[in-house]
Structures are given as structure tokens and as C-alpha cells.
């Protein structure tokens, strides 16, 4: 809030003017009754009316300016907070996103900052304005009739204590409410993202049940906050009634005893009204501010997560990459009890292809994630051209990376925009050249809008093989020095795969390539093949060497060849020879 001090200062000045002008009308009532009516000073009637009109105009004008100044400042604060949260989130380590759903993070970026409106916007204005009005009103009320005012102060202090207790009790409920809302948003995003699977297994009812459980829980929390808010407002109404009754009894007696004039009493009524109305509003605003602080608590929790570029300024600049990658005795585990990578060492010379194979859970993807800088080894080093990756700026290093992941993500844009994602300034000629190498140009040209075809969310309008080839074209266009292919040909038919392999052969020239593949026939040309099991390299060499060894690689290769040969043989039929 400190950065908005000037705006808040302007708002404070406008608010003071606004609140002071609100006391003019109650003040004129005393003069109207005691002087104009009581003492027949009719010449004061017009000045009093002009004062009331002038004060009303000032009050209306300052209210308008206040809403604009503070309201716009609040929206600007929300915008800037969203920008800061988004910047922080997208720079968090990959492991963070394994623990959180995307829908939950979307809610935290977009919804949690909304509470700032109640701190910098109308909420803070009403709160501070209410306090200021109460102070000014109490001064006037003490001057008019201090005995009754003292009793009112005791009542208001009791009410203030109750509100403070209510706000403390409601704050954790607001926080839990926002947490549940984020979880529901995350689950809903997951359901809609996998809608074809949901429909295929007839799981609509189960998903609806999960959603219903979430919204019912959210409803119960909202009900609690509504009851709490209603209780404070109800108590405020009771307080107004008690004060009104006291004014009738004590004020009436004071007039009868000539301790108050009728004008003083009417002015006292008006001033009490001016004071009590903001106090009732403060009860509403207090719950909004409690909700805002609950959101800020969640934002603070998120912002304390350590970014992967936290110490980027202290890392070395990487001006160029040749492509030599070395891993020295690296170890990695996601928790203390489950080692994923255990003492792996490898050297990939510039321009060579290294293939990683092994059963699921052997550590292939984790090993590649360390090469890409997504995970840091807990022991050992990853060297790029002889330099420790942990000492280099990741933003520099990743400019030299090209990636085709197992799950090919496409943005909801055109085919050309997706291919040029790593190189936004690429020309259409460059995009088409990359597409030809990836064997994508022909099917892209078959669309009416060609490269301007919109692919839909996650590329839903394309087949799996088409999405994969566009991802490959994207990696080709990046013109990287280090290329990572994670199951890059897994969704291609035999004809397309043959063409892609030829394209990759040209692409790998001069580039250091890491390939993860279950289809071992696609990596026979690799310079070195590493066989991983339980996070360790159990065999290494090229295809010919490993096959002749007759070890684990030979076993996997023959097993897969036999499986693919009999893949479409019906039960009871002879195997294909």
C-alpha cells in the first residue's frame, strides 16, 4: 500500500472535506429552530439554505472524485498484483507445478487479488471515513450533551469489541473459503480438460458428485460468513435502537429541564445519525477487509515459494553454447525415501545423439529434466561445455534448448503461431521449412486456412500425430544446440515415422540430442544408448555393441520386436513369421 501513498493522501483530503461538509446540514438545523423559528430571525433563512445547498454540492463532488481516485487506484493495484503473482508463478520450479493443479493457480492469480479493492478502494475509504466521522461527531456530541454522549461511547466501545472478535473469527473461514474455491476451480478444469475420457467411461455422474461435494462445502463456508456478517449488522441495528431510546428518555428530560434547547436536541439527533450510519457500514466493511486479508495471506504463501531464477543476478552469463553435456555422479530424489537417480555419469559430445531407454520409473524423464535445468541434482554436477549449470543463468541456457515432450502442448492459436512459439519473429518461409522437415507441411496445406488454421485449446482440432509433428516443427525452428526428444515419434504412423526419422537425421547434424523412446527401432542410429534401471545406468554403448552383448538391451529389443510382430494376431492364431 505504501506505493499508493500519494493517491491515498489525495483520497484522504477528499474524504476529510466530504465528512466535514456532512455536518453542515445538522448544524443548520439548530440555527433554523433556535434562531429563525425561535427568535424570528428570518434573514438567516436564505444564508442557511445556501449553506446547506453548498455543503451538499461539495459532498456530492468529493464523493464522485473519491470514488474515481480510490476506485481506479484499487483496480490498478489489482492489475499490478496479478502481474507480480503471474510473473512469480511462471518462474517457479517445475516441481511446484507437480504439486498444484493449474485451475487452483489460476484462481490464486485472478481471484485472490480482488480483495485489494477493499483495502485500497471503497473499503478503506469507508473504514477510515467512518472512524473520522465518529471522532468529529463525538466531539460535537460532547459539546452539546456530554452525559448522554459518554453513555453512547460505552455502548459503541462494546460494539467495537464485538466486531474485532467477529473479524478475527471470520478471517480463517474466509481463507478456507478461498482455498476450497480454488480447489473446485482446479478440479473443474481437470474435468473439462479430460472431458473425452469422462464421457468414454460414462463418468459424468461421478464427476458431478465430486463437484457437488465441493460446492456444498463452499456453500457451508459462505453461509458461516454470511451469518457472521449478519450478526454484526444486526447488533449494529440494535445499538442504533438503544441509542435512539436513550436519546428519547435522556434528551426529553434535558429539554424539560432546560439543559438542552430544542435546536440542540434536533442537531444532536442529526449528528448521531451521521455518526451511526458509517458505523453500521464499518461492520460490513470489516468483513470485506477480513476477506481481503485472507486472500493476501494466500498470496503471501505463494510469493514465498522460491523461484528457479531467485539468484539469477549472481549467476554467470552464457553467451554461446557448443552443445557438450556432462553429468558427473548425479543423484536426485523427490523425497528422502525414494531415490530416483543414483550416481549417474554420462558425457554427450557436441553433435552426438544420446538415447535413454528403460522401463517406466527408471529415471529417464528425471535425468532429462536435469539436463534442461528443471530439476537440480542434490549431489553431483550437470556441466554444459564444462560449466556447472547451477552457476549459469537459466534464461540464457534455455535459449539454446529445443524440446518435443511426450505430451505435446499446443496453444489456442494458429498453426503458424504454435510453430514459431520459440522464435516469434520467424518468417513464413522459415516456418514452412521446419514443417517440411517435420513432415507436417502436407497436412497443414490441406486445411482451408493452411498455416492460419486455429488449432483450438491444447490443439484439440488436430489428431495426436498432427500435434506431435507440429511440436517437432517447433523444435526444429528453434534451431537449438541441445535438442530433447521425449517419445517424439510415439504418435506417428509407420510412413510418417520414417519421414520424420530422416528429418531428425538432418536436424541432429551439429546438435547434441537426447532421445527418450520406448520404440527401440527408432534409436538404432544413436551414438550412444544408455539403459537405465532403478535410477542407474546398467548398460551403455551403441546399438550394435549392446545387441551383441546379449544383456538387458538385447532382452528389451527382442521383447519389443516380438511384441510388435504379434501385435495384431488374434488369440489362437499362429504368430506372423
Return the domain boundaries, the chain. 2-303, 325-565
Residues 2-303: name the CATH superfamily. ABC transporter type 1, transmembrane domain (1.20.1560.10)
Say if residues 221 and 180 touch (Cβ distance below 8 Å): yes
What is residue 381's predicted lDDT score, i.e. its pLDDT?
92
Query: pLDDT at residue 575 above 50?
Result: no
Residue-wise pLDDT tens digits, 143-168: 888 888 888 888 878 887 887 787 77
Of 328, 406, 410, whose CA–CA distance to 370 is shortest?
328
Mean pLDDT of all residues in the chain?
79
**Helices within 494-551 (DSSP H only):** 494-507, 543-549
Question: Looking at residue 381, what DSSP letter applies?
Answer: E
Sequence length of the chain is 577
Query: pLDDT at residue 567 above 70?
Result: no
Contacts for 347-350: CB closer than 8 Å, 24+ residues apart: 348/324, 348/512, 348/514, 348/528, 349/324, 349/512, 349/527, 350/322, 350/323, 350/324, 350/510, 350/512
Contacts for 393-398: CB closer than 8 Å, 24+ residues apart: 393/309, 393/312, 393/315, 393/316, 393/317, 393/318, 394/308, 394/309, 394/312, 394/315, 395/309, 395/312, 396/317, 396/318, 396/319, 397/318, 397/321, 397/373, 398/372, 398/373
Q: Which contiguous run of DSSP H or E holds residue 444?
A: helix 441-445
Share of the chain above pLDDT 90, in %: 4
Of 425, 522, 520, whose CA–CA distance to 472 is shortest?
522
- 443: cell is 497436412
pTM: 0.69
Q: CA 235 to CA 238: how far, in whole Å? A: 5
What is residue 566's predicted lDDT score, i.e. its pLDDT?
47
Residue-wise pLDDT tens digits, 4-50: 667 777 777 887 788 778 778 777 777 777 777 777 777 777 888 88
Residue-wise pLDDT tens digits, 218-275: 888 888 888 887 887 788 778 878 888 888 888 888 888 887 788 788 888 888 877 7
Q: CA 399 to CA 402: how far, in whole Å? A: 8
Q: CA 179 to CA 194: how far, in whole Å? A: 23
Residue 225: CB atoms within 10 Å: 20
End-to-end CA distance of the chain: 77
Radius of gyration of the chain measured on its C-alpha atoms: 36
Q: Which residues have C-beta within 8 Å of that of residue 521, sequence separation ≥ 6?
A: 560, 561
Question: Looking at residue 569, what DSSP letter applies?
Answer: P
For 325-565, the fitting CATH number among 3.40.50.970, 3.90.550.10, 3.10.105.10, 3.40.50.300 is: 3.40.50.300
Sign of the torsion angle spanned by Cα atoms 74, 77, 83, 87? negative
Query: pLDDT at residue 436 above 80?
Result: yes
Residue 122: CB atoms within 10 Å: 18
Instruction: Output b/e per residue, 16-44; b: 16+ Cβ within 10 A.
Output: ebbbbbbbbbbbbbbbbbbbbeeeeeeee
Domain 2-303 identical in fold to domain 325-565: no
Q: Catalytic positions, please? A: 487
Question: Looking at residue 568, what DSSP letter applies?
Answer: T
**3-state DSSP assignment of residue 136:** helix
Say if residues 415 and 444 touch (Cβ distance below 8 Å): yes
Residue 256: CB atoms within 10 Å: 9
The listed range with the strongest mean pLDDT (8-22, 488-502, 531-545) is: 531-545
Strand 353-357's sheet: what is its strand order? 401-404, 482-486, 512-516, 353-357, 528-533, 536-541
Residue-by-residue DSSP string for 199-212: HHTT-HHHHHHHHH
Q: CA 191 to CA 180: how far, in whole Å? A: 16
Q: Which residues have C-beta within 8 Å of that of residue 475, sequence separation ≥ 6?
A: 402, 403, 404, 422, 483, 485
Of 416, 481, 427, 420, whose CA–CA distance to 451 is shortest?
416
Query: pLDDT at residue 361 above 60?
Result: yes
Residue-by-residue DSSP string for 40-58: --GGGHHHHHHHHHHHHHH
Q: Which residues have C-beta within 8 Å of that of residue 226, sequence separation ≥ 6?
A: none
Residue-wise pLDDT tens digits, 285-326: 666 677 777 777 788 888 888 887 777 778 888 888 888 899
Q: Which residues have C-beta within 8 Å of that of residue 268, sequence separation ≥ 6?
A: 141, 144, 145, 148, 247, 251, 260
Between 425 and 488, where is the model more confident? 425
Q: CA 449 to CA 169: how far, in whole Å? A: 58
Amino acid at each position: 500500500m505504501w506505493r499508493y501513498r500519494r493517491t491515498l493522501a489525495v483520497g484522504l483530503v477528499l474524504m476529510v472535506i466530504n465528512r466535514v461538509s456532512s455536518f453542515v446540514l445538522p448544524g443548520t438545523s439548530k440555527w433554523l429552530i433556535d434562531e429563525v423559528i425561535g427568535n424570528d430571525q428570518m434573514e438567516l433563512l436564505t444564508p442557511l439554505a445556501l449553506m446547506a445547498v453548498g455543503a451538499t454540492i461539495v459532498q456530492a463532488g468529493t464523493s464522485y472524485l473519491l470514488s474515481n481516485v480510490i476506485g481506479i487506484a484499487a483496480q490498478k493495484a489489482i492489475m499490478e498484483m496479478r502481474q507480480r503473482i503471474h510473473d512469480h508463478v511462471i518462474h517457479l520450479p517445475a516441481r511446484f507445478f507437480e504439486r498444484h493443479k493449474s485451475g487452483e493457480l489460476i484462481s490464486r492469480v485472478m481471484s485472490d487479488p480482488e480483495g485489494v479493492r477493499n483495502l485500497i478502494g471503497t473499503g478503506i475509504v469507508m473504514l477510515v471515513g467512518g472512524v473520522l466521522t465518529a471522532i468529529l461527531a463525538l466531539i460535537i456530541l460532547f459539546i452539546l450533551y456530554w452525559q448522554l454522549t459518554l453513555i453512547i461511547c460505552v455502548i459503541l466501545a462494546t460494539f467495537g469489541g464485538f466486531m474485532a472478535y467477529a473479524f478475527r473469527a471470520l478471517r480463517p473461514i474466509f481463507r478456507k473459503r478461498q482455498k476450497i474455491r480454488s480447489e473446485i476451480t482446479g478440479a473443474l478444469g481437470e474435468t473439462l480438460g479430460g472431458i473425452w475420457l469422462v464421457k468414454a467411461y460414462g463418468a459424468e455422474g461421478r464427476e458431478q458428485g465430486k463437484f457437488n461435494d465441493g460446492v456444498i462445502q463452499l456453500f457451508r463456508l459462505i453461509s458461516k460468513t454470511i451469518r457472521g456478517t449478519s450478526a454484526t449488522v444486526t447488533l449494529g441495528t440494535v445499538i442504533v435502537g438503544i441509542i435512539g431510546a436513550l436519546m428519547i428518555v435522556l434528551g426529553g428530560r434535558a429539554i424539560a429541564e432546560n439543559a438542552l434547547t430544542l435546536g440542540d436536541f434536533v442537531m444532536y439527533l442529526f449528528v448521531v445519525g451521521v455518526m451511526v450510519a458509517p458505523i453500521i457500514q464499518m461492520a460490513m466493511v470489516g468483513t470485506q477487509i477480513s476477506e481481503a486479508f485472507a486472500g493476501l495471506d494466500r498470496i503471501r504463501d505463494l510469493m514465498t515459494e522460491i523461484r528457479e531464477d531467485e539468484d539469477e543476478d549472481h549467476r554467470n552469463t552464457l553467451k554461446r553454447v557448443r552443445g557438450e553435456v556432462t553429468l558427473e555422479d548425479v543423484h536426485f530424489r523427490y523425497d528422502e525415501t525414494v531415490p530416483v537417480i543414483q550416481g549417474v555419469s554420462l558425457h554427450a559430445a557436441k553433435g552426438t545423439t544420446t538415447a535413454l531407454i528403460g522401463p517406466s520409473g527408471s529415471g529417464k524423464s528425471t535425468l532429462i529434466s536435469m539436463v534442461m535445468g528443471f530439476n537440480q541434482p542434490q549431489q553431483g554436477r550437470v556441466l554444459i561445455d564444462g560449466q556447472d549449470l547451477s552457476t549459469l543463468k537459466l534464461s540464457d541456457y534455455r535459449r539454446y534448448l529445443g524440446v518435443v515432450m511426450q505430451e505435446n502442448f499446443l496453444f489456442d492459436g494458429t498453426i503458424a503461431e504454435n510453430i514459431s512459439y520459440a522464435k516469434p519473429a520467424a518468417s513464413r518461409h522459415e516456418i514452412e521449412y521446419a514443417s517440411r522437415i517435420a513432415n507436417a507441411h502436407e497436412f497443414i496445406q490441406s486445411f482451408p486456412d493452411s498455416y492460419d488454421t486455429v488449432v483450438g485449446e491444447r490443439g484439440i482440432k488436430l489428431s495426436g500425430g498432427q500435434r506431435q509433428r507440429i511440436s517437432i516443427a517447433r523444435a526444429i525452428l528453434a534451431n537449438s544446440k541441445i535438442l530433447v526428444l521425449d517419445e517424439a515419434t510415439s504418435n506417428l504412423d509407420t510412413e510418417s515415422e520414417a519421414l520424420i526419422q530422416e528429418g531428425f537425421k538432418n536436424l541432429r547434424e551439429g546438435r547434441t540430442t537426447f532421445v527418450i523412446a520406448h520404440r527401440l527401432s527408432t534409436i538404432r542410429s544413436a551414438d550412444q544408448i544408455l539403459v537405465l534401471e532403478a535410477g542407474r545406468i546398467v548398460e551403455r554403448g551403441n546399438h550394435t555393441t549392446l545387441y551383441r552383448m546379449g544383456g538387458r538391451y538385447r532382452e528389451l529389443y527382442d521383447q519389443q520386436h516380438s511384441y510388435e510382430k504379434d501385435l495384431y494376431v488374434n488369440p489362437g492364431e499362429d504368430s506372423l513369421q
